[in-house]
Amino acid sequence: MLNKKTLISALFAVCASASAFAQPERPNIVVILADDLGYSDVSFNGSKDITTPNLDKLAANGTVMTSAYAAHPFCGPSRAGLMTGRYPHRFGSQFNLPTNHKSGGLGIPTDEKFISKVLQESGYYTVAVGKWHLGETPEYHPNARGFDDYYGFTGGGHDYFPEKYQKKYQASLARGMDATIFDYIRPLERNGKEVRETEYVTDGLARETAAYIDKASKQDKPFFIYAAFNAPHTPMQAKDEDMAMFPNIKDKKRKVYAGMVYALDRAVGRIVDQLKASGEYENTLIVFFSDNGGKTPTGASNEPLRGRKGDTLEGGYRVPMFFHWPNKIPARDNYYHVISALDLFPTFANLAGADLTGVKKLDGVDVLDAVINGENARPGQSVFAMRHRYGYSDVGVRKDNFKALRFGSKDEWQLYDVNKDPSETKDLSGKYPVLLSQLKEEAEIWAWQHAEPKWFHIHREGFQWREKAMPRFHETFNYKPMYGE
C-alpha cells in the first residue's frame, strides 16, 4: 500500500508526463501593415518630427528589425509576396494590378496558397481588414483566399473622408457612369456586401479590427488578423486635429503626411487596447511593418536611406518593422540581420503547427528562433528585389551585410556594405570584384526562374511595354535593357 509521500510523488510524475505530451498553446497572430510608410517616419525608427507613441511602446517591448525588406518596392506585388511566401515574379505578379475596370478580372493565381488559407485549415479564425489589392472578382476575394471575415476595400487605395467620397460616388452614379471605375470612392464592404462607413477610414478600420478581436476572443481557437491600413498612402487626406499635433512642421505636405501617420498610430493603440481588454494580449504575436518604402513626393522620409517607393535602392523596399510578443520576443534595442516579409509565411505556419501540403516551395525562412536569439536566420543566403521599368530593370541583391545594386538604364553595378553605409554612397565594387560577380550570377539564376507577367500596370507606357519588351522577355538576362513598366 502506497504511503502519502509516495502517492504525492506518483501524482506529480503523472502530471509531469501529461505536461510533456501536452501541445503548447498556439499564439494569436496580428499583422499590422502600413502603406507607403517611410523608413524614418516612426519615432522608434528615428523620426524626429513625427511622434508615434503607441508604436513606440510596442517596439520598446519587442524587437525592432533594422534590416527588414518588403518583397517588392510596390504595393500589390509586395502583398502578393507576403501572402504566398514567394517572390511575386515567380507567378507573374511583379506589377501592380490595374484598377478593376481595366484588369479583366485578374488576380493572384489561385494555385498559389495564401498563408491565410494555411492558418484557416490549421484551425485559426482568420480576418482581413483594409486594403486588399490582390484581385477583386469572387475567386480572388479575401473570403475565397482563406479569410473567414473581411472588411475593407479590394482595390489599391481609398479616399479617407466618407462625407466626401460618398458624395462623389453618388454623383457619378447619377450621371450614369460605370461604378467599377471609381476605385478610391466606391463603398467599403463586409464579406462582399457594401457598407456605409461613417468614420475617417483609418479610424473605421481600427474600429473593425478591434471588433473582430472581440469576436475572436469568444471563440475556442486562436486567430490570425491581417490589418492592412492604407495610411499614409495617397490621397493625402488628414484630420485637422491630427495635423494640429505637429505645430512645428511647416511644410504642408509633410504636415498632412504626419497627421495620417498619427492616425495610424492611434489605430494601433486601439488594437492593443482591445487585445488587452479581451485577455489576448499576452499570447499574441504582433508584427508591424510597411509594404514598401515611403513615397517622398507626398511628404515621406526614408532617411538615411537613398531612394523612394518603387526603387531597388534601400529607400524603396527597406522598411520599418518590429515583432512584439510578451515573454517570447525579447525586448532589445535592435535585430540587425536581414529579414524579409517572405519570412512571415513559414514563421507563422510553424507557429501554428500547420500542414504545408499544397504549398509551393517558399522563398522565406522561419526566423522566430533567430530573432529570439539575435542570430542571423539566413547566413550566406541572398534576398532579391527587382523592379521593371520601361526598357530595363533595377535589381538589388542583399547577402549578409553586402548589397549588389543595378539602378538606372546603364549596364552598371555597384556594391555596398549597407550595414556600415545604409545610404549607399561608397561603392566597393572595385575592392570586392569577385563578390560582386557572384551576386550578379545569383541574380541571373533567380531571374531565370521568373514567369512572364500576367498583367501590366496600365499607364502611358503600359501598352508599349507589352509590344516591345515581351518578345524579348526570355532572350537573355545579361542586365541590359529588356524589361519595362
Which residue of the set 72, 75, 388, 450 is catalytic? 75
Asked if residue 390 and residue 359 are part of one domain, the reply reads no
In a domain, 7, yes or no: no
Asked if residue 360 and residue 426 are part of one domain, the reply reads no
* Burial label, 166 (beta-carbon count in 10 A; 0-12, 13-18, 19+): middle
In a domain, 312, yes or no: yes
Farthest-apart Cα atoms in the chain, separation: 92
In a domain, 17, yes or no: no
Domain limit, last residue, from 342, 373, 404: 373
In a domain, 19, yes or no: no
Q: Under 8 Å CB-to-CB from 249, ≥6 apart: which residues?
A: 49, 255, 258
75 is catalytic: yes
Domain limit, last residue, from 339, 373, 407: 373
Asked if residue 368 and residue 315 are part of one domain, the reply reads yes
> pTM of the predicted model, to two decimals?
0.91
pLDDT at 390: 78
pLDDT at 342: 98
Q: Under 8 Å CB-to-CB from 371, ≥6 apart: which residues?
A: 63, 65, 323, 329, 335, 339, 377
Q: Under 8 Å CB-to-CB from 409, ≥6 apart: which residues?
A: 389, 391, 392, 481
Compute the distance between CA of residue 77 and CA of residue 442 in angstroms, rounded to an integer: 21
Asked if residue 227 and residue 293 are part of one domain, the reply reads yes
pLDDT at 102: 56
Asked if residue 163 and residue 240 are part of one domain, the reply reads yes
Asked if residue 311 and residue 349 are part of one domain, the reply reads yes
In a domain, 484, yes or no: no
Asked if residue 74 and residue 38 are part of one domain, the reply reads yes
The answer to whether the beta carbons of residues 301 and 46 sit under 8 Å apart is no
Compute the distance between CA of residue 208 and CA of residue 404 in angstroms, rounded to an integer: 42
In a domain, 16, yes or no: no
The answer to whether the beta carbons of residues 397 and 390 sit under 8 Å apart is no
Asked if residue 421 and residue 320 are part of one domain, the reply reads no
- One pLDDT digit (tens) per residue for the chain, 485 residues: 445 444 434 443 444 333 333 346 899 999 999 999 999 999 999 999 999 999 999 999 999 999 999 999 999 999 999 999 999 999 999 999 987 655 568 999 999 999 999 999 999 999 999 999 999 999 999 999 999 999 999 999 999 999 999 999 999 888 888 766 778 999 999 999 999 999 999 999 999 999 999 999 999 999 999 999 999 999 999 999 999 999 999 999 999 999 999 999 999 999 999 999 999 999 999 999 999 999 999 999 999 999 999 999 999 999 999 999 999 999 977 999 999 999 999 999 999 999 998 899 999 999 999 999 999 999 999 999 999 887 789 999 999 999 999 998 888 999 999 999 999 999 999 999 999 999 999 999 999 999 999 988 654 344 444 444 443 333 333 333 333 32
In 3D space, the residue among 323, 483, 474, 336 whose CA is nearest the CA of residue 398 turns out to be: 336
CATH code of 394's domain: 3.30.1120.10
Which residue of the set 72, 133, 158, 233 is catalytic? 133
133 is catalytic: yes
Compute the distance between CA of residue 147 and CA of residue 133 in angstroms, rounded to an integer: 15
Q: Which domain holds residue 411?
A: 382-472
Compute the distance between CA of residue 451 and CA of residue 295 in angstroms, rounded to an integer: 28
3-state class (DSSP) for residue 195: strand
pLDDT at 321: 98
CATH code of 345's domain: 3.40.720.10
pLDDT at 104: 66
pLDDT at 24: 61
Compute the distance between CA of residue 8 and CA of residue 368 in angstroms, rounded to an integer: 38
In a domain, 78, yes or no: yes
* Burial label, 455 (beta-carbon count in 10 A; 0-12, 13-18, 19+): buried
Asked if residue 423 and residue 397 are part of one domain, the reply reads yes
In a domain, 3, yes or no: no
Compute the distance between CA of residue 296 and CA of residue 36 in angstroms, rounded to an integer: 9
My answer on whether omega of the bond before 232 falls inside 30° of 0, hence cis, is yes
The radius of gyration computed from the CA coordinates of the chain, to the nearest angstrom, equals 23
Asked if residue 390 and residue 369 are part of one domain, the reply reads no
Asked if residue 398 and residue 338 are part of one domain, the reply reads no
Domain limit, last residue, from 326, 353, 373: 373
| Angle 108-113-114 from CA coordinates, rounded to 5° | 80
Number of domains the chain contains: 2
Asked if residue 215 and residue 272 are part of one domain, the reply reads yes
